[in-house]
Structure 1
Amino acid sequence: MDTPPLKGTPVPRPATAADLPRLADVLADAFNDYAWTNWTIPTQDRHERIRALQLLYLKHAGLPYGMVWTVPDHTAVAAFLPSPIPDLPSAVLEQVTHAHGDRLAALLEAEELVAARRPVHDWVLATVGVAPTAQGHGLGRTVVSAGVEAIDGHGGTCLLETSDPRNLPFYRRLGFTTDALVSTPGPPVWIMTRTS
């Protein structure tokens, strides 16, 4: 896919370790009132828990094994991981477990239902977020397109999941199609894929 950036949109670049704290802030703000995180993360200290989780995943999975794309002012981020996703170290898994607190069982129950419906894929668009003050300017498309174009260079299928139906048109414009809608005890999950 060769999608030109929107006029005036910053050029995306791969993130570095130094970028990760700021990118975790962006993702924490973006997911602070998202249906899935509301279901799987306790209300108490939710914003801090989301930030901690995003930082863990970016640092221990996204950067070493996948691709993390951002823009110069850090207002947008998209992380892509290879499939299967590499196992996280036990110390990191303990932190993930702690962040989910008493919602961990709900997460695992929903994950079992969703996992059964995932088609075979090579990559996962694990997370994407745009700072609230920067939304509506094409930055989400910019960082997701950067990852999708890198995947297209090697061929393969990219999968994503969303619990917000408002996201579906955005992903469809980027070439993703809906494979399944999974009902869970919490929010529904749309599984979408894009094949190079």
Structure 2
Amino acid sequence: MVPTLTAPAYRLGVGDLGWATALLAEACVDHPVLRHCCPEPAAAGQKAWLLGRLLRFGLRYGRVYANAERTALAVWLGPGQLAASWWQLLRVGVLPSALWRLSWSCWRRVQHYLAATAWLRHQSMASPGHHYLLALAVRPSQRGRGLGRRLLHATLALSQATAATACYAETQVPEQLPFYQRLGFQLTGQCPAGPGAPWLTTWGLMRAAPPQ
């Protein structure tokens, strides 16, 4: 029997890109990674563009889910789809458009951040066969109601039912660590986000695979 999502949640498609990108931009406007990568006068446009590429990447190489009210969404990559190769970045429109959508310094910060998180994920996981929570976002006006927890719990159940492997997540907000730990994630390591950002730390967390 094919497992289904715990209601209320559903899988997004390309037709959902517009409102989903707007939700992600609203939820992540003050995220420390975006503040670090996009500190320039054109930051708002750069942030929105980067988040749109993140969603396109999730739709093409993973799965994007939202709750029925469209106030929370989760972006997952599955086993075997965990590395952003140059070909993948080209297919979702990151390259070569990043060269004119972003400043050179912004693009370099993004590259350093991606390299640092890839290193931390490699150090944290014993094998590449794991699910990766690329993003979890809740509309700011709806936070504190358990929407992110319910959506994450539902998508965790689906991911680990279809492929009984570990799940990996990361955060740059220390106040979020207890949230993930209450859902069964354990801290596996940490690292700086890249050169020039000693104040910005990424924490890696892993949720063990369910018993066979």
Q: TM-score, normalised by structure 1?
A: 0.84
Aligned residue number for residue 140 of structure 2:
132
SS in 2 for 1:171: helix
Checking the alignment, whether the CA contact within 8 Å between 1:76 and 1:140 is kept in structure 2 is yes
Q: How do 1:104-115 and structure 2 match up within 5 A?
A: 104-115=107-118
Corresponding residue to 2:165 among 156, 161, 173: 156
Shift, 1:100, TM fit: 4.2
Deviation at 1:25, TM superposition (A): 0.9
Q: How many residues align?
A: 187
Structure 1 gaps, min length 5: none
Which has the higher mean CA deviation after the structures are superposed, 82-91 or 15-24?
A: 82-91
Q: In the superposition, relative to structure 1, how do residues 178 and 45 fare at CA in structure 2: closer, same or farther (>3 Å)?
A: same
- The one-letter code of the counterpart of 2:82 is P
Letter in 1 for 2:13: T
Residues 98 and 107, structure 2, Cα contact 8 Å, conserved in 1: no
Give how far 1:65 is off.
2.4
Give the CA deviation at 1:181.
1.3
CA distance in 2 between partners of 1:188 and 1:96 (Å): 25
Within 2, Cα distance between the matches of 1:47 and 1:84? Answer: 27
C-alpha change, 1:85 and 1:15, in structure 2 (3 Å) is same
Task: Output the aligned Cα RMSD.
Answer: 2.1
Residue 89 (structure 1) aligned with residue 90 (structure 2): yes
Determine if contact 2:11/2:63 at 8 Å carries over to the other structure: yes
Specify the code of the residue in structure 2 equivalent to 1:188.
T
The C-alpha deviation readout for 1:5-24, integer Å capped at 9, x for no partner, is: 8xxxx711111222221111
| Structure 2: gaps spanning 5 or more residues | 1-5
- In the other structure, the counterpart of 1:24 is 21
> What code does the residue aligned with 1:88 have?
L
Q: 2:67 aligns with which of 60, 65, 71?
A: 71
Q: Which residue of 2 aligns with 1:50?
A: 47
Q: Check whether the contact 1:42–1:100 (CA below 8 A) recurs between aligned residues.
A: no
Q: Distance in 2 between matches of 1:98 and 1:20?
A: 22
Q: Give the drift of 1:77.
A: 0.6
Letter in 1 for 2:64: V
How many Å separate the matches in 2 of 1:97 and 1:123?
30
